Amino acid sequence: GQQVMQIPQYQHVQEGEDFTTYCNSSTTLSNIQWYKQRPGGHPVFLIQLVKSGEVKKQKRLTFQFGEAKKNSSLHITATQTTDVGTYFCAAYLNQFYFGTGTSLTVIP
Amino acid sequence: DAGVTQSPTHLIKTRGQQVTLRCSPISGHKSVSWYQQVLGQGPQFIFQYYEKEERGRGNFPDRFSARQFPNYSSELNVNALLLGDSALYLCASSLYPIGNYGYTFGSGTRLTVV
């Protein structure tokens, strides 16, 4: 069964608006990774979170790991057209399970 | 430095046939993982190899097999192809199995079964 769920499945935003995707698991996670996949491309590693409550930033991207280590979020501030793609979380539970992904469309 | 290379990039096979996909990891990476990605879905884990030994197997039938060679390259074999095997097959390499620094994916092999 699906180990890692992501919401929303799709998100359309106007350029300049913020965007958030959420990743949820019923199981406590040892770590979580985030990937971005451009249309027609392959997943590209963004970041790994390990500690409870951890927050990491990469320019306009903010990643957070929940206190209970069962959920995570990715927030993009002031989206740009270059942010278009599908964002996946991946959690290690004896193997890496990828979430269902959130497809982001940015309208210029 | 070459990234993860996969071959072939595209492949069309007939139901019942067998296919072999190849992957060369980043130099120095000893772990290779295989994923299947159906259109519109997240990658599904198939196998992981580390130091030439199988470290994990996903929920795939025995028609799927893989191996890792002494130079850490890897092959994924799929026998008795079904229409449902049509997908993008991704290879990912990392220094260690858990991929503490993330997995680096190849561009994938697009397999179409007709």
Per-residue pLDDT of B101-112, as tens digits, reads: 889 999 999 999
Separation of alpha carbons B1 and A15, rounded Å: 35
- Look over chain B and give the mean of its residue pLDDT values, rounded to a whole number: 94
pLDDT at position B1: 54
Half-sphere exposure of B86 (CA within 13 A, CB side): 11
The CA distances from residue A45 to A34, B19, B105, in Å, are 6, 28, 8
Cβ within 8 Å of B, A 33-62: 33, 35, 41-48
pLDDT at position A1: 47
What distance in Å separates residue A67's CA from the closest CA in chain B? 20
Q: Where are the domains of chain B?
A: 5-113
Token pair in block for residue A69: 């280590």
Domains and CATH numbers, chain A: 4-102 (2.60.40.10)
**Residue B99: is its pLDDT beyond 80?**
no
What distance in Å separates residue A29's CA from the closest CA in chain B? 13
The helix or strand, by DSSP H or E, that contains position B47, with its residue range, turns out to be strand B44-50
Average pLDDT over residues B21-45: 95
Cα dihedral A8, A12, A15, A21 in deg (nearest 10): 10
DSSP state of B25: P
Separation of alpha carbons A3 and B110, rounded Å: 25
pLDDT in tens, B62-73: 999 999 999 999
CATH fold for the domain made of B5-113: Immunoglobulin-like (2.60.40)
Average pLDDT over residues B46-60: 93
Q: Do B90 and A43 touch (CB under 8 A)?
A: yes
Q: Do B90 and A48 touch (CB under 8 A)?
A: no
What distance in Å separates residue B18's CA from the closest CA in chain A? 24
Per-residue pLDDT tens digits of chain A, which is 108 residues long = 457 899 999 999 999 999 999 999 988 998 999 999 999 999 999 999 999 999 999 999 999 999 999 999 999 999 999 999 999 999 887 778 899 999 999 999
| Residues B36, B21 contacting (CB under 8 angstroms) | no
For residue B99, the chain A residues in CB contact (below 8 A) are 33, 92, 96
Token pair in block for residue B64: 């799927």
